Amino acid sequence: MMDRRVASPARRKRPAHRACHWAVALLALGVLPAGMAATPAPAERAAEVAAAARTRSYELSFKQMGALFPLQLRGVQGTSGVPFSVRNDEVVVGARLRLSYSYSPALLANLSHINVMVNEEVAASIPVSREQAGTVLTRDIAIPPRLITEFNRLNLQLIGHYTTECEDPAHSSLWANVSNQSTLELTVAPVALANDLALLPTPLFDRRDIRQLQLPFVFPATPTGRTLESAGIVSSWFGGLASYRGAKFPVTVGGLPQRGAAVVFLLGNDSLDGLSLPPLTGPTLSMVANPSDPNAKLLLVMGRNAEELKTAASVLALGSATLSGSTATISEWKPLEPRRPYDAPNWLRSDRPVKFGELAEQRSLNVAGYSPDLIRINFHMPPDLFAWREKGIPVDLRYRYTPRPNPDKSSLNISANEQFLRAYPLRAAAHGAPGWLDGLWSKLPATDGTLPARDSFHIPLFMLPSQTQLQFHYYYDYIKQGACKDVVLDNVRGAIDGDSSIDISGFSHFIAMPDLAAFSNSGFPFTRMADLSETAVILPDAAGPTEWSTYLGLLGMMGASTGYAATGVTVAQAAQADELAGKDLLVLASGSNQPLLQRWSSAIPSSVGGDSKRFVVSDLAYRLLDWWDPQHRQGAVDRRSELQYGSDGVQAVISGFESPLAAGRSVVLVSASQPEGLNAAVDALLDPDRVKQVQGSVAVVGNKQVSSLVAEQSYFVGQLSPVVHVQWFLSRHPLLLVALGVASALLLAVVMYLSLRARARRRLHA
């Protein structure tokens, strides 16, 4: 999508546009005289100064920017850092780094220091005094805005020495640690962009912004189910764009937000104060300025009827890369072919091996230096893969590295989600090949002087959750040469070949249900179809903005899992539930506004409505280890007791159970005692830490904690081959297997007895 927009006129003007950004920044700082502004017109110059005055500040921690652990600076020139970016509709006018760090008491103060570098330029140098060594220090550092561009890297470099004589450049006393709770505060000023659909998804979503997406949706009046289906398409698209950031979509009815961007849905003759719209002639998309905030944009999704509104939403989600101009009216739209199960763009393909080059950019598969960063490969796994009696997921690994001058302990270490898998030695240039195939492969020429290698291994399925990261770490052994001879040469390289592959094509799809972990991590079973064409959302009667916002947030979460818009979702109410028996159902309830809670009370394991709360509980809390072994979980029925009470506390419950309308279909119920409890449920599902606790068949969300109460798995979805299904079924019923064995032996004995008697009779009558 991005490549197709690079050639648009709006993109070709980017250099001049960024020059204007710098003018705004320098005007705000008082560095650039008014007569030297990039735009000569006085009115435009005044507008830029006014925009610069409307600054705002926000903080990003190193952890938010990708540093999962504290930064480790080692050696005479240890360097580590984090990336950060600036939105396209903002310009940085001030930046301040709050650093929390400590360093070795052995460092010489007159020779050692820590450099703060932005885009390879030194912004500040921090002295390392002996008096403060070994303690946790905090320091505020001003960073010149001129060093900051769109895409940036903040590095911290330790220049460390512990002696004035011959020193070991990798000595253990040369260290400094920087906390990943250190923060970067950016002060930004808004910059108005053109009303151009070619900029989409900017400025409503900017991939440079690593914060959670908060995008309001506006309806002129109470939306119908068909209107909400169109809104769900748009929210799932933005959710897919937001990806790991998460996305929330607060709903407003009857008025525009006073500040910031929003998506507005207009049907027929709908109108809103402040918007002047021409008569509609078909499905229409338009970008206009927010009347209350000229620097913010409103994306208008319009149609004369519900069908045209859905067409406009689908074009936005699937064809936005082709749009241009301030307004686009769709004259023709041919829907794509129906989706097939498990074909979500973000999921590993189930019909062939998938190459690593399809999952990560080639430049991210290369590292350099004696202390390189991890090579990370992220992908989504279908949560219902069945690997019974299998070795695991096969991986064909091809990699290259700088050969070692002599045999040592260097290795390529492989992990999955920070769990160690295996290690391969990095051989010397003149090593003896273990086998003829390895020797043949190693003799192939490499243009960069590296040594190619190839290996294969299997990853146990229990180590691969729905969202998985493979991690490759090149460890190079440092061989000391002796006093005054040690010199660290940065001449080692490592790479994972993009032709390496992972293959799940030989595995069946079969899983014990309900399984809220599959729902919370990947939206399963709804995301089995990437467009949610086999999903229906049952909203409560008299639903309001909170329920609609919850629905949009859940679809955004599913879009992040699949990478595809929910163009096939159905939105209905309880009265229409029987007509949707052939679909998986996502049911929302707040208070006592969902009639299905009463109709299905015997099937629902837990529910919350008004002041009444009903739960089933089990010994799950004492059997957490079983969650890591899918064989222990299959068919588990752990319900122990049932509890019901009245309370005015705000809670949300996520429950999974088999649909009362059709065997093999699933229902996920998100209920809350009050509407605000639904917001807590969405927050928990978007929290990387709390979402891990949503599992089993019942999970309770309250007070920023999640508790899983019961692991009742009573039905299965998916399909196995007949032979495997019989083997698996008998393995779960050993007594039946013994009975069949005894019956088979008796039958064989009877057959043999009758056969021998018949043979004896023939011999007697011969």
Query: Pairing state of beta strands 467-475 and 411-416?
Result: antiparallel
- The whole model's pTM is what? 0.83
pLDDT over 80 (residue 480): no
At 671-691, the pLDDT tens digits run 988 888 899 999 999 998 899
- Look at residue 257 and tell me if it is in a domain: yes
At 42-100, the pLDDT tens digits run 545 555 545 445 788 999 999 999 888 899 998 888 899 999 999 988 999 999 999 99
pLDDT over 50 (residue 493): yes
Which letter does DSSP use for residue 631 in this model? H
Give the pLDDT mean for 220-248. Answer: 95
pLDDT over 90 (residue 226): yes
- Look at residue 37 and tell me if it is in a domain: no
The pLDDT-based confidence of 737 (bands split at 50, 70, 90) is confident
- Both 98 and 240 in one domain: the answer is no
Residue 31 confidence (pLDDT): 40
> Is the pLDDT higher at 369 or at 242?
242
Q: Which amino acid is residue 46, in one-letter code?
A: A
CATH number for the domain harbouring residue 74: 2.60.120.260
- Both 233 and 88 in one domain: the answer is no
Q: Whose CA is closest to 252, among 233, 231, 238, 236?
A: 231
Q: Whose CA is closest to 215, among 325, 299, 286?
A: 299
At 539-568, the pLDDT tens digits run 998 899 999 999 999 999 999 999 999 999
> Is the pLDDT higher at 235 or at 429?
235
Give the whole-angstrom CA distance, residue 307 versus residue 256.
24
What is the pLDDT of the chain when averaged over all its residues?
A: 84
pLDDT over 70 (residue 421): yes
Which contacts of 374-377 are long-range, i.e. CB under 8 A and separated by 24 or more positions?
374/471, 374/472, 374/473, 375/471, 375/472, 375/473, 375/474, 375/494, 375/496, 376/469, 376/470, 376/471, 376/472, 377/469, 377/470, 377/471, 377/472, 377/496
pLDDT over 80 (residue 649): no
Residue 613 confidence (pLDDT): 61
pLDDT over 60 (residue 3): no
- The b-or-e profile of 622-656 (16+ CB within 10 A means b, else e) is eeeeebeebeebbebebbeeeeeeeeeebbbbbbb
CATH number for the domain harbouring residue 221: 3.30.379
pLDDT over 80 (residue 35): no
CATH number for the domain harbouring residue 438: 2.60.120
Quickly count: other Cβ atoms within 10 Å of residue 159's Cβ. 20
Residue 17 confidence (pLDDT): 42
What whole-number percentage of the chain has pLDDT above 70?
83
Residue 723 confidence (pLDDT): 83
The pLDDT-based confidence of 732 (bands split at 50, 70, 90) is confident
Q: Pick the last residue of a domain from 133, 166, 190.
A: 190
Helices 225-242 and 545-562: crossing angle in degrees, nearest 10, is 50
At 685-717, the pLDDT tens digits run 999 889 988 988 888 888 778 887 776 667 899
Give the whole-angstrom CA distance, residue 42 versus residue 21.
17
CA 591 to chain CA mean position, Å: 31
Contact 637, 555 (CB under 8 A): no
- Look at residue 342 and tell me if it is in a domain: no
> Is the pLDDT higher at 66 or at 176?
176
- Both 565 and 518 in one domain: the answer is yes
- Look at residue 10 and tell me if it is in a domain: no
At 288-310, the pLDDT tens digits run 999 988 889 999 999 999 999 99
Lowest mean pLDDT: which of 100-104, 317-321, 371-375? Answer: 371-375
Give the pLDDT mean for 448-472. Answer: 88
- Both 596 and 539 in one domain: the answer is yes
Q: Pick the last residue of a domain from 148, 166, 190.
A: 190
Phi, psi of 372 (to 5 degrees): -75, 160
The pLDDT-based confidence of 432 (bands split at 50, 70, 90) is low
- Look at residue 662 and tell me if it is in a domain: yes
- Both 104 and 250 in one domain: the answer is no
- Look at residue 84 and tell me if it is in a domain: yes
- Both 710 and 572 in one domain: the answer is yes
Residue 7 confidence (pLDDT): 35
- Look at residue 636 and tell me if it is in a domain: yes
Q: How many helices (H) and strands (E) does the chain have?
A: 14, 41
pLDDT over 80 (residue 448): no
Residue 209, Ramachandran bin (φ over 0: left; ψ between -120 and 50: alpha; else beta): beta
At 114-158, the pLDDT tens digits run 999 999 999 999 999 999 999 999 999 999 999 999 899 999 999
Which letter does DSSP use for residue 4 in this model? H
Q: Whose CA is closest to 531, among 506, 505, 561?
A: 561
Residue 719 confidence (pLDDT): 87
Q: Pick the last residue of a domain from 168, 190, 212.
A: 190
What string of DSSP letters covers 85-140?
E--TTEEEEEEEEEEEEEE-TTS-TTT-EEEEEETTEEEEEEE--GGGTTS-EEEE
**Token code pair at residue 447:** 């243009």
Split into its structural domains, the chain has a count of: 5
Domain of 460, in residue numbers: 354-480+488-502
> Is the pLDDT higher at 237 or at 737?
237
Cis peptide before 201 (omega within 30 of 0): yes
- Look at residue 36 and tell me if it is in a domain: no
Residue 195, Ramachandran bin (φ over 0: left; ψ between -120 and 50: alpha; else beta): beta
Query: Pairing state of beta strands 90-103 and 137-143?
Result: antiparallel
The pLDDT-based confidence of 614 (bands split at 50, 70, 90) is low
Quickly count: other Cβ atoms within 10 Å of residue 50's Cβ. 12
pLDDT over 90 (residue 408): no
pLDDT over 90 (residue 518): yes
Give the whole-angstrom CA distance, residue 412 versus residue 495.
10
Residue 619 confidence (pLDDT): 53
pLDDT over 60 (residue 363): yes
- Both 186 and 202 in one domain: the answer is no
Residue 413, judged by CB atoms within 10 A of its CB (0-12, 13-18, 19+), counts as middle
3-state secondary structure 409-452: CCEEEEEECCEEEEEEECCECCCCCCCHHHHHHHCCCCCCCCEE
Lowest mean pLDDT: which of 387-396, 476-485, 607-616, 687-696? Answer: 607-616
Residue 706 confidence (pLDDT): 84
Helix (H) or strand (E) holding 316: helix 306-319
Residue 592 confidence (pLDDT): 83
Give the pLDDT mean for 633-639. Answer: 46
Q: Whose CA is closest to 425, among 487, 475, 355?
A: 475
Residue 2 confidence (pLDDT): 35
Residue 758 confidence (pLDDT): 87
- Both 153 and 100 in one domain: the answer is yes
- Both 163 and 220 in one domain: the answer is no
pLDDT over 80 (residue 395): yes
pLDDT over 50 (residue 27): no
- Both 168 and 202 in one domain: the answer is no
- Both 459 and 595 in one domain: the answer is no
- Both 737 and 688 in one domain: the answer is no
Phi, psi of 306 (to 5 degrees): -65, -35
